[in-house]
Chain A
C-alpha cells in the first residue's frame, strides 16, 4: 500500500534551517509529483511547492521561493524539504503529499504523510 513516512518533530531557533524528509513506499516513486503543504497551529492548509520525482523539476509558491529547496533521492524514494531563515511564524505542521497524477498542473493530493511539527522558538 502507498505510504509516505515523514521525519520526526524539530525545534529550531529563529534564523536556523530545517530539513524534513518524506520516504515513499508502495508505488513507483519516480512516476510521481510530491507537494509540500503546511498548517500553522489552529490554521488552514497552505500549499508550498511541488517537485517531480521523475526529473527534479520544481515549482515554489512565491512567498517561499527565496527560502525553500525541495529535492529527491530516487535511490531511497525520499523527498526532502529544506526551509531556511526560520521565523516564529514558520511554526507549523509540514505535510508531504503525493499528486494523484504525474502531471504538474491540475492535480490533487491522494496520499499524505503523517506530518512533521516544526517549532521555531528562541
Chain B
C-alpha cells in the first residue's frame, strides 16, 4: 500500500488562505474519521495540528482547520503567516493488513 497522496508544494502570500489536499482510499481516509495533520519545520519533530479530521489540539491556532470528503482530506490555513512555512503531513488510520497508520507524501508550504 502506498502513502497517501499530497501535492508536493503549495504557496501563498501573507494573509491569504491555502488548502492542502490528502487523497487516500476506502481502506484509510474513506473508511475512517481518523485523519490527522502534522506540521514539521526543518530539523524539528512533527507537531500535531489537527486530529480526527477536524479537531484542533489545545494551543493550535483557529487559522488551521480540517475537513474530509470521500477519499480526500483537506487542511486549510487561513491568514497565512511567515511562521506557517513548513512541511505538512497528513496521516490516517488504515485497515490495511500491512500497517495501522499511513502518512501522506508531504506538502511543502511556502509563504511568498
Q: Does B74 contact A (CB under 8 A)?
A: no
* Chain B residue total in the interface (Cβ 8 A): 27
B32 touching A106, Cβ below 8 Å = yes
B64 within 8 A of A: no
With a cutoff of 8 Å between Cβ atoms, the chain A residues found around residue B38 in the complex are 45, 109
**Cβ of B46 and Cβ of A107 under 8 Å apart?**
no
Residues of chain A within 8 A (CB-CB) of B97 are 62
Does any Cβ of A come within 8 Å of B30's Cβ?
no
A106-B32, A106-B93 known; A62+B99 contact, CB < 8 A: yes
> Which of B45, B99, B106 is A44 in contact with, Cβ under 8 Å?
B106
B-binding segment of A23-31, A71-79, A83-91, A111-119: A111-119
State A106–B33 Cα separation when bound (angstroms): 8
Chain B residues positioned under 8 Å from A95 (CB to CB): 45-46
Q: Are B89 and A100 in contact (CB under 8 A)?
A: no
The answer to whether B48 touches A100, judged by C-beta atoms less than 8 angstroms apart, is: yes
A20 to chain B, nearest CB (A): 14
Q: Shortest CB–CB separation between residue A3 and chain B, in angstroms?
A: 12
Question: Assuming A44-B103, A108-B48, A114-B45, what are 7 further A-B pairs, CB within 8 angstroms?
Answer: A44-B104, A45-B106, A46-B103, A62-B99, A105-B93, A108-B51, A109-B46
Chain A residues within CB distance 8 Å of chain B: 35, 37, 44-47, 50, 59, 61-63, 95, 97, 100, 104-110, 112-115
Q: Which 4 residue pairs spanning A and B have beta carbons closest together? A: A108-B36, A61-B99, A108-B51, A62-B98
